[in-house]
Each structure stands twice: as C-alpha cells, then as structure tokens.
Amino acid sequence: MAQRLALRRLLSLAPRALPQQAPVARHSRAFSTSANCKSTFNVQDGSDFQDRVVNNPKPVVVDFHAQWCGPCKILGPRLEKMVAKQEGKVLMAKVDIDDHTDLAIEYEVSAVPTVLAMKNGDVVDKFVGIKDEDQLEAFLKKLIGA
Amino acid sequence: MLDVSIHTKFERSYEFLRDFSFYLVKEEAAGFGKKVLVLDYVVPTPLGTSWGLGGTCVNVGCIPKKLMHQAALLGQALQDSRKYGWQYEEQVKHNWETMVEAIQNYIGSLNWGYRVSLREKSVTYLNSYGEFVEPHKIKATNRKGQVTYHTAETFVLATGERPRYPGIPGDKEYCITSDDLFSLPYCPGKTLVVGASYVALECAGFLAGLGMDVTVMVRSILLRGFDQEMAERIGAYMETHGVKFIKKFVPVQVEQLEEGMPGRLKVTAKSTGGEPEIFEEEYNTVLLAIGRDACTRNIGLETIGVKINEKNGKVPVNDEEQTNVPYVYAIGDILEGKLELTPVAIQAGKLLARRLYGGSSTKCDYINVPTTVFTPLEYGSCGLSEEKAIEGYGKQNLEVYHSLFWPLEWTVAGRDNNTCYGKIICNKHDNNRVIGFHVLGPNAGEVTQGFAAAIKCGLTKELLDETIGIHPTCAEVFTTMDITKSSGQDITQRGC
C-alpha cells in the first residue's frame, strides 16, 4: 500500500499524540488496562524478537497482523483481552508483517492474522484467521499447560 | 556471487502490473528450475508517495482506478435507485478518506500476496534500485544505501514508466499525478486535470462522479491514438455530465495561494492556437496526466550497450522481446511500439520464460488486443480505429456498421438516450471480416472481452448476423447491426 513521506513530515510538525512508528500514524495501539500493558508488546525488530519471544522463559503468542487486514483488527484486541485474563502466565507479541517482512517470511506467514504459540523458542501451535473468545482461551490454556 | 540465471531488474515500479506479469516470468522461470532474482524499487514521487510490490497496475494504475470508477458508478446508481422505488431520507455524501483506506487495504493485501508468491517459488526479492555496472553484472542499492552486486546469465527489464512533468514553475512542488492520487489522504476538492490521455479522462471522470468540481485542460485532441469519433463521444458525454473542458490551452505556471490538505493553487494557462489568450483560475488540486516516460535512463543501460530510443526512453526489441544485447530482454510499457497494457506485459513475460527455458517457440501476439477506457461512459475496443482502418485498407474497401442504443436499465432511470454507441469496421475484400470493434456504453470491458475472442477466431459480419443476441442486453446490438455509415441513414433510436 502507498505511503506518504510528506504526510509523515507534516504529522511530525503537528502535536503528536501517537508514538512515532513508521510509516503514517494510523496504527494506534492503545493499551487499555495495566494488565494489558505488561502482557502485550509490539516487536521492534529481529533482535527484539529474539530477546523477548524466542528467549523468553514464559510462553509467548505471536500475532502476525497487517494494517490492511480487516479480520486482524477484530482478532487483535480479542486475543489481547484473553491473554490479559491469563494474568501473566503467557505474553503476547505483535508483529506487523509489512514492517517486519523478514520475520513473517521466516515463520512462513502466508495469510493474516496468523497466530503462533511459542515455547522455549519453538512453535508448538498455530492458527490462521479469526477465533472466538472460547477458542482463544482453549488455545492459550493448552500453551500454558503443555 | 550468486548463481542467478534470470535476474529481473525493476526500477521505480514493477512493470508487472497485476498479479502475474513478472510473477509469471519469475514463476515460469523458477518453475523451470532457474534461480531468479527480482529487484523492485519505487523512487518516491516529488511529494513523497511510494508503494509496495506489484507495479503500476496494482498500486497506482488499473486496480485503484477501476475501484474509484466503481465508487463513482455507485454514486450514479444511488441516483437512479430512487426512480426504481428506493426511498431514503438522507442526502447521500461521499467520504474520500473511507474510500482510499478501503482501496489501499486491498492493495496492501495484494502486495503481501506477491511477497508470498515469490517466496513460494523460491524467487529472491530485493527492495533495491538496480543499475548495470558491467556486462552481466548489476549493482543493487537499498533504501539505506547498502550496496550488493549480482551477476546473471540473463536479464529482463520491466521497469515501466512514471508520469511526466511539464517543466513549468510549481509543477513538482504543488501538482499531483496519478502516482499520488490513489493514496491521497485528503479529498482533492476542486480539481484541474491537465491532459487528455485516458489517465486524465478516467481520473476526471471518477472525480466528477464522486461530486467534485472538475475541469480538464486539453492542449489539442482527446485520447490521441484512439478512434477519434469515439473520443469525441466520450468527451461530449463527460461535458454533459458535469466535467468542464478548457480546450487548446496549456498551463504555464502553478502558484500556491494557501498551504493545506488540500490547499489553494492558482493556475495560469496560455492558449495554443490562434490568438494568444491567458487563462487564470484557482483550484484545490492540479492533477497532471500529460503522459508517461519510460524508466530506462539511470539504470546503466548505456554501460552495457543496450540501445534505447533517446527521445522517449523506450526500448526497441525484436519479436522475441530481445534487445540489441542478446542476454537482455525487455517487456511491458517500456517497449517501443507496443501496447502499454497489463495483460500484454503478462503474456509477453510468460511466453518469454517459456521460450527461454521451456523449449517453446510461441511468440506474443500483439494483434487485435482488446482494451477498455473506464471513463464515465466506458469505451471498449478491439482491432483498428476507423482512422487506421481507412489508412491501411482504403475507405472504399471498408464497410462500417453502427448503431446508437439505450441500455434497458437507463430507461426507467431516465438517463440519456441516443448516447451509447457501437460500431464495427469490416473489410469488404475479406468476407467482411471484422477488423475493428468499438462500443461505448456500460460494462464495455465485459462486453468487449467476448468479441475479442471472436475476432481472434476470424469473426465476419455474416457470423455476427448469424449469432443470436441475448435479450435484453447492450451487447446484443452487435448481432443486429444493419445500418452502414455509407448509407447515410439515421441511427437515432425511437423506442424499444
């Protein structure tokens, strides 16, 4: 999709309410509760992914999403909510596939949303597309319990 | 050094518009077990616009254009709907930002689809600007300035074109082009479209259809190279439907009166014919659509001796898409003397890969390629324009059948009668073979596609007459076309 560098410059002049994240500030990730803040994070780059996902002692669900993907906008908040309910036993990493294409390709993401369940650096479970809250809860419980 | 057999180089934007063009070359080639590298790099527009994988068609051409055209058609449909009994109180308004976001989201999914596609076929992709540095070797520079070198046995150029600027004060600073329009984050408002190309008319058409105040500034004629009778009918329809035309003028200066999204611009124009006249007017947006230039200048072609047409940058090739340098091929809009159409590039690319690696000898057939211009009243054609037919065969050897028609759906809606038009040009000395097909009406693209296949099979007037029409449709008019131009009879319709 198209990006406008000029608009980015224009926005940088205006009072900025949103965190500076390329390209145009339309992806506003507002963390609603304090529990969310701790258990969900946006992956910054490859080494950040290594540190916070692959090398994390806790299990992590990785939400591969895209700005142009409608279903992602539904699944994202729903998954965040269910992750928060697990009270820190599982964390959630969000990866924008256009910003981190190499990562998406490495993990063979074809369609979005794709959610991977990672434990000790390995992909132990995965699903593609939207799931409801009960299905997500089961997915998370399996990851934590396994 | 990579063992790369085909290195496809792209500059600025892919030439492979839809889904397939370069994919097909890559996929075909990769399918033959060849290692393929694709370079794609979009040099941002003067206003900073850029886009993802897929080329002009996908990002700033056919796809967003047709979607915006559809948005405009839906507006018209809403107007018609009341005549069909639909009742609603609200005044209908259009939200530009909603439309652009939806279209860009779709394009984003296409961009991603191509990445996946390339990966699935093990094609290496680099988002880098490529240049030839020596025979069989290119230098690739990415956005961060990192440089890599690659060699390959064969190269395919598909670098496409970019909009031309007129070279007047204010053009690059204040004007937009089609490269910017389809992702414009704000509604363009009162717009001046400079140019009379199909890009200019299609854009002017849907902008007006979405409710904007649109003026088209034309230097001489509309749709140069197209059948001029059809071009005039297209223009006439647009004029009676709210598009203003300023004919025989060119802009000489664009000044900014006020910054903004959109801002206010003052355009000064000069007449091209007869009395020197000055025209001045204020617009929110100026859209330049005066032509496109091939992206063949700064990619090192001169270093390896690939000849290009110095005037327009296009690449002359033989009938196997090979340039004067045997290991360098070219496809798409950059080709000299060939049609600038997505499906043509796709077909050429596919067949090229098969010839290079699949042992095929089939060449791309550039004759009787159908096209459609998606102006408010759509125009589909296949074969020769009337001018080219007369030039090639002589007027006395041709019979032109024509008819006006009124789409059934327009009757109840109270829309223009005697406006939609169809004509076929037949070669008298070859069984009245249909050598030119032209239709002006709704769904022109859908109508034309089928007739293009018939023409490929050698359609004659007799076969057309023997074909029974589907009723009620617009296309059926071609199965009952009796009146010839030479008879001078009136084709005005009086009723069903």
Q: Could you give all domains of chain A from N- to C-terminal order, each with its CATH number?
A: 40-144 (3.40.30.10)
Q: Which of A6, A98, A110 sits opposite B47 (nearest CB)?
A: A6
Give alpha helix (H) positions in B94-215.
96-120, 171-174, 178-181, 198-209
Q: Return all residues near A51 (Cβ < 8 A) that are at least 6 apart.
A: none
| Torsion angle in degrees (nearest 10) through CA of B428, B433, B435, B437 | 110
Mutant choice from B43, B112, B121, B182 vs A, greatest count of A C-beta within 10 A: B112
DSSP3 helix / strand / coil % (chain A, rounded to 5): 40, 20, 40
* pLDDT score at A18: 38
Length of chain A counted residue by residue: 146
- A123 vs A88: CA distance, rounded Å: 19
- A72 annotated active-site: yes
* pLDDT score at B123: 87
The response to whether B195 counts as a known ligand-binding position is yes
Using a CB-CB cut-off of 8 Å, the residues of chain B touching A11 are none
Minimum distance, in Å, between the CA of residue B342 and any CA atom of chain A: 19
* pLDDT score at B495: 59
Contact across the interface for B107 and A5, Cβ inside 8 Å: no
The response to whether B198 counts as a known ligand-binding position is yes
Task: Give the pairing of strands B36-39 and B124-126.
Answer: parallel
Q: Which residue does chain A place closest to B116, by CA atoms?
A: A110
Residue B380 β-bridge partners: B372, B439
Low-confidence ranges of chain A (pLDDT < 50): 6-36
Kindly list the catalytic residues of B: 471
Length of chain B counted residue by residue: 496
Structure token pair of residue A85: 């309910």
Q: Which residue does chain A place closest to B110, by CA atoms?
A: A1
* pLDDT score at B4: 29
Using a CB-CB cut-off of 8 Å, the residues of chain A touching B256 are none
Nearest one of B142, B141, B138 to B156, comparing CA atoms:
B138
* pLDDT score at B65: 97
Q: Return all residues near B147 (Cβ < 8 A) that are at least 6 apart.
A: B139, B140, B141
- A60 three-state secondary structure: strand
- B442 vs B237: CA distance, rounded Å: 13
Annotated catalytic residue within A24, A25, A35, A69: A69
Q: Which of B44, B51, B116 sits opposite A1 (nearest CB)?
A: B51
- Does residue B326 have a cis peptide bond before it, meaning omega lies within 30 degrees of 0? no
At B151, give phi and psi (nearest 5°): -120, 155
* pLDDT score at B403: 97
* H or E element, residue A122: strand A122-128
* pLDDT score at A146: 56
Minimum distance, in Å, between the CA of residue B103 and any CA atom of chain A: 9
- B288 vs B48: CA distance, rounded Å: 16
Minimum distance, in Å, between the CA of residue B50 and any CA atom of chain A: 5
Q: Are A140 and A83 in contact (CB under 8 A)?
A: yes
Interface of chain A toward chain B, CB-CB under 8 angstroms: 1-10, 24, 66-70, 97-98, 101, 105, 110, 112
Q: Are B276 and B265 in contact (CB under 8 A)?
A: no
Residues B76-111: tens digit of each pLDDT: 999 999 999 999 988 889 999 999 999 999 999 999
Contact across the interface for A9 and B48, Cβ inside 8 Å: yes
Interface contacts (A, B; CB < 8 Å): 68
Minimum distance, in Å, between the CA of residue A25 and any CA atom of chain B: 12
* pLDDT score at B90: 80
* pLDDT score at B487: 95
CA atoms within 13 A on the CB side of B81: 11
Minimum distance, in Å, between the CA of residue B488 and any CA atom of chain A: 52
The response to whether B227 counts as a known ligand-binding position is no
Q: Return all residues near B298 (Cβ < 8 A) that are at least 6 apart.
A: B11, B131
Contact across the interface for B112 and A98, Cβ inside 8 Å: yes
Angle at B193 between CA B191 and CA B199, to 5 degrees: 130
Please spell the DSSP secondary structure of B308-352, one letter per residue. --TTT--B---TTSB-SSTTEEE-GGGBTTS---HHHHHHHHHHH
Q: What is the mean pLDDT of each run of 10 residues along chain B (496 residues)?
A: 33 25 57 83 93 93 97 96 92 94 95 90 88 92 91 91 96 97 97 97 98 97 96 97 96 96 96 89 98 92 94 93 94 92 92 90 91 97 97 96 96 94 97 97 97 97 97 97 95 75
* pLDDT score at B380: 98
Task: Give the pairing of strands B264-271 and B191-194.
Answer: unpaired
Minimum distance, in Å, between the CA of residue B194 and any CA atom of chain A: 23
Give alpha helix (H) positions in chain A.
5-13, 34-39, 46-49, 70-85, 101-106, 133-145
- A35 vs A81: CA distance, rounded Å: 9
- A69 annotated active-site: yes
Q: Which of A3, A6, A68 sits opposite B105 (nearest CB)?
A: A68
Q: Return all residues near A4 (Cβ < 8 A) that are at least 6 apart.
A: A23, A24, B47, B48, B49, B50, B183, B185
Q: Are B440 and B234 in contact (CB under 8 A)?
A: yes
Nearest one of B210, B200, B206 to B286, comparing CA atoms:
B200
The response to whether B200 counts as a known ligand-binding position is yes
Which of the 8 DSSP states describes residue B468? P
Q: Are B226 and B372 in contact (CB under 8 A)?
A: no
- B328 vs B256: CA distance, rounded Å: 45
The response to whether B291 counts as a known ligand-binding position is yes
Residue B439 β-bridge partners: B380, B422
- B465 vs B460: CA distance, rounded Å: 9
The response to whether B333 counts as a known ligand-binding position is yes
Q: Are B496 and B417 in contact (CB under 8 A)?
A: no
> Would residue A53 be called left, alpha or beta, if left means φ above 0 and alpha means ψ between -120 and 50 degrees?
alpha
Contact across the interface for B109 and A68, Cβ inside 8 Å: yes
Which of the 8 DSSP states describes residue B484? B
Using a CB-CB cut-off of 8 Å, the residues of chain B touching A6 are 47-49
Contact across the interface for A1 and B47, Cβ inside 8 Å: no
pTM for this entry: 0.86
Complex ipTM value: 0.70
Structure token pair of residue B32: 């033959």
Using a CB-CB cut-off of 8 Å, the residues of chain A touching B59 are 1-2
The response to whether B244 counts as a known ligand-binding position is no
Using a CB-CB cut-off of 8 Å, the residues of chain B touching A2 are 49-52, 59-60, 104, 107, 182-183
- B468 vs B475: CA distance, rounded Å: 11
- B248 vs B253: CA distance, rounded Å: 16
Q: With both helix axes pointing from N to C terminus, report the angle between B21-31 and B342-357 in degrees, rounded to the nearest 10.
A: 10
- A119 vs A129: CA distance, rounded Å: 21
* H or E element, residue B237: helix B228-240
Using a CB-CB cut-off of 8 Å, the residues of chain B touching A112 are 112
Contact across the interface for A4 and B115, Cβ inside 8 Å: no
